[in-house]
Structure 1
Amino acid sequence: MSQYPRDEFDKIPESASRQGVHRERLVPPGSSGLALKILVGVLALAVGLAAFFILPRLGFGSGAEPTSGQSTATATADASPSPAAGADSSEPAPSDPATDGPAGGGTEGSDPTPTADPDGIDRSEPVNVYNASGIGGQATLAAGRVTADGWTVEEIADWGGAPLQNSVIFYNDPSQLETAQELSGVLGIPTLIETTEVSPDVTVVIGPGFQ
């Protein structure tokens, strides 16, 4: 017997068929629970489909594929050349000895500055040779000797001036005197005349008796 005093909950009719309160069973007696299993399976399938189709569109999930723009950017970045490992971009490019010139910075193959010959005579100055001897080929003969000595013959022609008694070398001013003297020794012509009326270049006129 209970040691607690009786109350209104203890006043139960003697003929009542139910004793106490019981919860209703979800699965009727004698049922195997198949319907409940089917219901749980359908709910699980619905949740899986929702997670597969809906969540990726909402941005969830770390395995999402990159968009086409991201793929293009990645491909472009991979295609860009990268400096070699250990290379220092601050180092200047090595110079090419085939293209570098001398200490003055010029390139190989450029025209050097004309320099005087060892005897101090600038043989790059042009020379004219004219024939006043009346014998054909004398101007060509003299021009061959001048060219063989390193000079540049500008013109070979017949003399159109006054007749001469001997061969003469004409020059314009004292700056051409050394050239005239050098040609005098090459051709054996002792007569040198300074004048500006013949030609701006040193001019050799072959007269009678030229050897």
Structure 2
Amino acid sequence: MSQFPRDEFDKVPETAARQGVHRERLVPPRSGGLALKILVGLMVLAVGFAAYFIFPRLGIGQASESAPETSSAAPSTPSTEETASAAPSEEPSPSEAPTPEPTPVETEPEAVVDRAQPVAVLNATTVAGLASTAAGRLQTDGWNVTQIANWAGQPVQSSLILYNGEEQRASAEELGRVLGITTVQGNAGFSENITVVVGPGFQ
């Protein structure tokens, strides 16, 4: 006999073949839990599939990974010293050496008008006093007239000025400008001085 008080479960005839209440088992005795193992395996596969394919597309789990990459990818600002050292040097390279300046061409010295040199004025016309008139104009302009005479050479068609050498050319051209004579001949060999020949048509 039991020492506990009797309850409603004890009201079973002692002669009955059934000795207690048994609950139905959830898993058939011959299955061995195979169905439960398959169900758990399918759930694990579903979670792995979602973590590998679906979560990355939704952006889940990537925020913490992208943050370090962003911070490490940010370029550092170069300091002033680094910028100065990186600046290109202004010194020209050997290939950029300055081109030598061309040598200036020597030019002949410009002729100078010399009013102090002797000037002869000769009359090659039949008009008396025409050489004196031309000489007076030259003396008024500051020229050194040393001779006034008649022309003894070949007849001339117009007035002309004869000079010797390039050093007398500028003075001979200036004499022509003063007297209005356009014909100026060099290296005539007539005289060592500049000679003014007053010909027909002189005024």
TM range (shorter): 0.3 to 0.5
Taking structure 2 as the reference length, what is the TM-score of the superposition?
Answer: 0.44
Greater radius of gyration (CA): 2
Higher helix share: 2
